[in-house]
């Protein structure tokens, strides 16, 4: 079996194959070389859309596309045949994304963006000090006692929720069906507007699907208190950026933090760069998939043996 692995990550080839397999490293920003278009497995990580489209059109013997990204949207959009199994990297990013989400939440709540600007100006920010220590604004600057809503309550949320709870937050999940997950209450998407009325921090970990496009819209933003914080570590496609900009400019949202945007890299002329009370990081939350080789190995073995694949989303 020929297995193509990307040049964007160092996978342990000894784990990926047995003596009969041929593991080949390929460039993710160039067409698949003609001599390797007979591969049966394609591992994907940070591939360009052009590369994926080329692979979908030029690899007739392909059986499995394993993306190491938690969200398989770019692979699903490439046009692979229905006979090709597509598996995601769900769970590989739980720890780093949860960590970055927590960092963004704390940075937003404690307004580290404001303090950083003061540092650049060599200014001891006395107004911030007064606001932060004012008993009337105490809840704005702490997670202790805050109502945190996590929209998209999958495995990343399962890692993040206990970290938030350890700091005193009251965590509620939102998913397609209600119940309890990872020991936390989860409400259905239909109940989200009601939950938002008392939400202090809204964290989105939604995947990019046709159903989630622009999920954070004007109506959702207006359901939040003006003192609320919004953090997105899911996908940029899930946010109506015009609605978010309006909420920030009109003071209907205290602060937002985005690790993802609709267009990436974010163009230098994007209005988001100059938006008030907005923290932006360049899609770095999940840059280190953990356990990639083990997941790829498990799915290659399952493919050979005709067993169920892990994280299969198509094919």
Each residue of 244-266: b (16+ CB within 10 Å) or e?
A: bbebbeeebbbbbbbbbbbeeeb
Question: For the CA atoms of 280, 281, 285, 287, what is the dihedral angle to 10 degrees?
Answer: 150
Sign of CA dihedral 138, 141, 142, 148: positive
Whether 264 sits among the annotated catalytic residues: the reply is yes
Question: Active site includes 283?
Answer: yes
Contact yes or no for 213/234 (Cβ under 8 A): no
The DSSP letter of residue 266 is P
| Catalytic option among 250, 264, 271, 307 | 264
Selected catalytic residue, list 46, 95, 222, 283: 283
Spot the catalytic one: 37, 90, 235, 254.
235
Measure the CA–CA gap between 172 and 149, rounded to whole angstroms.
5
Hey, what's the torsion of the CAs at 62, 64, 70, 72, to 10 degrees?
50
> Would you call 99 a catalytic residue per the annotation?
no
Residues annotated as catalytic are 235, 264, 283
């Amino acid at each position: 079996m020929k297995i193509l692995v990307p040049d964007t990550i160092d996978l342990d080839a000894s784990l990926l194959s047995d003596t009969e397999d041929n593991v080949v490293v390929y460039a993710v920003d160039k067409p698949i070389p003609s001599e390797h278009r007979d591969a049966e497995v394609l591992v994907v990580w940070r591939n360009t859309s052009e590369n994926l489209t080329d692979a979908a059109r030029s690899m007739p013997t392909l059986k499995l596309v394993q993306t190491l990204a938690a969200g398989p949207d770019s692979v699903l959009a490439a046009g692979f045949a229905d006979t090709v199994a597509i598996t995601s990297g769900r769970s590989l990013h739980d720890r780093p994304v949860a960590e970055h989400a927590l960092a963004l939440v704390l940075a937003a709540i404690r307004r580290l963006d404001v303090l950083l600007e003061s540092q650049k100006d060599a200014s001891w920010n006395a107004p911030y000090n007064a606001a932060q220590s004012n008993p009337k604004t105490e809840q704005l600057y702490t997670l202790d006692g805050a109502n945190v809503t996590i929209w998209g309550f999958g495995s990343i949320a399962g890692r993040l929720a206990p970290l938030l709870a350890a700091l005193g937050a009251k965590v509620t999940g939102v998913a397609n069906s209600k119940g309890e997950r990872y020991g936390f209450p989860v409400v259905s998407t239909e109940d989200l507007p009601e939950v938002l009325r008392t939400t202090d921090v809204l964290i989105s970990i939604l995947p990019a699907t046709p159903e989630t496009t622009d999920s954070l819209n004007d109506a959702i933003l207006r359901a939040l208190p003006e003192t609320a914080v919004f953090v997105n570590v899911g996908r940029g496609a899930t946010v109506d950026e015009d609605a978010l900009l309006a909420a920030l400019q009109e003071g209907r949202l205290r602060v937002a933090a985005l690790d993802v945007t609709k267009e990436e890299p974010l163009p230098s002329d994007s209005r988001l760069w100059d938006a008030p009370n907005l923290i932006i990081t360049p899609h770095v939350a999940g840059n280190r998939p953990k356990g990639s080789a083990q997941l790829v190995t498990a799915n290659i073995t399952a493919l050979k043996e005709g067993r169920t694949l892990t994280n299969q989303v198509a094919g």
